[in-house]
Structure 1
Amino acid sequence: MVLFREFSELCERLRETTGRKDKVSLIVRFLKTLEPSEIRYASRLLIGQPLPENISDELDVGYNTLMELHELQSTLVADPLTIREVGEKLFEIAKIKGYGSRDKKKNILSGLISRMDEVEREWFTKIVIGEMQHGVNEGVLLEALGEIANIPLESIYRAYMLLGDIGELAELAGRGSSKDIESIRLEVYRPVRPMLAEQCQDLSELFKEPPAAYAVEYKLDGARVQIHIGNNGVKIFSRRLNEVTQSIPDVVEQINRRVNRCIAVLDGEIIAVDSS
């Protein structure tokens, strides 16, 4: 098992490295030293997203709480933390809900932080807050995963869009499962990362590369959702890939009434209207 200290040292090197290709090379070399199951955790931690993107749980840990725990003395005789252990503990923290949850979360965090040195604590804090500041975003990480799996970057981006979890994709890349990555298909009830519009400064920029035809429509702001219809009924997911079915029963009712029995994934906006 690779230690969290080694991961923190990688983050230090990435912060000191300016070139994108050099960053990708550092990530590739590091991830190749990990077991596929470790890559799942390391990839999420590397971009400050320790939880799978398609779950609704959150860490709900504030900066002030972390700073309080930084006052703890390091336990010199404690076993060093592994990447897997940090990833699993953060997932455990996100699952804690209800009365007394704050104290329970602090207990787990204190157990982790007391086993870290100063470098580890710095990067652990950045992970929890979600601000890594080492110049590695999803795009850089996806390039590295493409090199590891030896498949075109376009295939990696497509797989990421369909899986919705960079950790799962990273594990497939670590296993050398290029065929599995390229064979990923759209599945009902597995939310897809939404395609987002790009901004342009003026109309002339829009018409620089004319397509065969244009379509123009009014921009109505609502809630971006995916509606998945299948044998297990209707499920609705937000743009963050969280299931929100229970919070909008009126939409579910309308879908059941108006959409013929089928298997489909619909993408669009939910807009509140009145009878007028």
Structure 2
Amino acid sequence: MRYSELANLYRSLEKTTLKTLKTKFVADFLKKTPDELLEIIPYLILGKVFPDWDERELGVGEKLLVKAVAMATGVPEKEIENSVKDTGDLGESVALALKRRRQKSFFSQPLTIKRVYNTFVKIAEAQGEGSQDRKMKYLANLFMDAEPEEGKYIARTVLGTMRTGVAEGILRDAIAGAFNARPELVERAYMLTSDFGQVARVAKLEGNEGLARVQIQIGKPIRPMLAQNAAGVKDALMEMGGEAAFEIKYDGARVQVHRDGDRVIIYSRRLENVTRSIPEIIEAAKSQLKHERIIVEGELVAVGEGGRPRPFQYVLRRFRRKYNIEEMIERIPVELNLFDILYADGEALIDTPFRERRRRLKEAVEENERIKLAVQLVTKSAEEAEKFYKEALELGHEGLMAKRLDAVYEPGNRGKKWLKIKPTMEDLDLVIIGA
């Protein structure tokens, strides 16, 4: 399949603001996509190369991209940079440079989607000494064979600036429309796997029955269940039917831990792979989680003097650190407070009531200074819960979570089965003056 066909889709998507038309364009494209490309096309349509949870990154910035275009076209780097000042879009400037290219390769061949994708993979996997030069040459080889419109969208994909207005909802509806699948089954499969490529392939080749069979997979994060706000402890208790599990709401970063034997992967709430940044939690998971194959959720908290929690920003600093991690372990120690279990040794637990999941979690974890269970109080008493709430605030935590004891885990859903209780801040009227 030619890359020019994908470029034509991008152009059509840019020209309309109507979601219905965008959905139709994407669905029509998916219908004609060969089976072997179905796992990669959804992400390219979104303007990405890999799912958010895939730790591979292209690692190409504007300067390296400009160098690659200059190498491919003979147009000086400075001219391309000046063009960006006029167009406001490096993709458009790449297209202009390709129109002005001094010469085209004698052995030039039309670009295919597979070749473009495989080149992106090579770029992402280029590591070590000389990797920047290799990345530049890989890109230059693409631009040598690219038509101007193709070059524009290759550049935008590399920089993550596609601008077609296609988000997850449109892609989900397009997959359902393309393959006559039930939208709720497409949604369910995506919530369990966070993988549109797999969902599209199953929808086409196995239909609704295949989508219904999609299960949780270790290594593919489940979309997190979300909570609504509650006015206070009493309101939360009433919403829960008079009895609830109250847990400390930690001021940290929510994570999902996947263990498959000695392999442990940790995903952030946004499904980013943050495994490398917290090796001490990886080692603790191997020793403290009793199941060989397990998925648990918790809150990663930075710990300060006297064991008091430090603000959320400290955890973000751990996530962002790629080098000198040992130094950061000393400067910003962290602990993981687990509050849910979603899978254990082949058994999916998301349809199990929360009361039972908490029991299973307790059985599955051997607590130590690195991994603990979230502190919990199950009560029918508003007074008891209020006291617990005040204690949580005094300890430096955000507040409480209230959870229905009979609630199943609903991936991606923000409902009233989980409620968050924290102090109400003063309302502010603000104007954004920079972004």
Same fold (TM over 0.5): yes
Amino acid at match of 2:54: I
The one-letter amino acid paired with 1:153 is P
Whether contact under 8 Å (1:57, 1:95) holds in the other structure is yes
2:62 equivalent in structure 1: 63
Cα separation, 2, equivalents of 1:224 and 1:148: 35
SS of the equivalent of 2:10 reads: helix
Aligned to 2:127: 97
Q: CA deviation at 1:68?
A: 3.2
C-alpha separation in 1, matches of 2:165 and 2:183: 19
Deviations 1:68-88 (A, max 9, x none): 333413627511101111111
Query: For each residue in 1:43-64, what CA deviation from the matched residue of structure 2 results, as whole angstroms up to 9, or x when unmatched?
Result: 2111111124432111000122
For these two proteins, the number of residue pairs brought into alignment is 267
Give the aligned partner of residue 173 of structure 1. 203
TM-superposed CA distance for 1:22, in Å, is 1.1
DSSP 3-state at the match of 1:40: coil
- Residues 22-171 of structure 1: matches in 2 within 5 Å? 22-71=21-70, 72=73, 73=101, 75=104, 78-171=108-201
Distance 1:132 1:58 in 2: 16
1:258 & 1:11 partners in 2: Cα distance? Answer: 48
Conserved 8 A contact 1:191-1:226: no
Structure 1, unaligned stretches of length 5 or more?
none
Asked if 1:183 corresponds to 2:216, the answer is: no
Q: Give the CA deviation at 1:243.
A: 6.2
Structure (1 or 2) with the greater strand fraction:
2
Check 1:250–1:30 CA distance in 2 against 1; reply closer, same or farther (3 A cut).
Answer: closer
Letter of the aligned partner of 1:272 in structure 2? A
**36-45 or 130-139, which deviates more:** 36-45
2:14 is matched with which residue? 15
Matching residue's letter, 1:165: D
- What secondary structure does 2:200 align onto? helix
8 Å CA contact 2:123, 2:138 repeated in 1: yes
Q: Secondary structure at the match of 1:127?
A: helix
Q: Is the 1:43–1:141 contact (alpha carbons within 8 Å) kept by the matching residues of 2? A: yes
Choose from 233, 237, 242 the match for 2:266. 237
Distance 1:65 1:94 in 2: 14
In our comparison, the structure showing a higher alpha carbon Rg is 2
**C-alpha offsets along residues 141-184 of structure 1, whole Å, 9 cap, x if unaligned?**
11111112322222212212222322222233343543222211
Equivalent-residue separation in structure 2 for 1:221 and 1:130 (angstroms): 30
Query: Is 2:185–2:211's contact at 8 Å kept on the other side of the alignment?
Result: yes
**Conserved? CA contact 2:181–2:207, under 8 Å:** no
SS at match of 1:70: helix
> How large is the RMSD of aligned CA atoms in angstroms?
2.8
SS of corresponding position for 1:226: strand
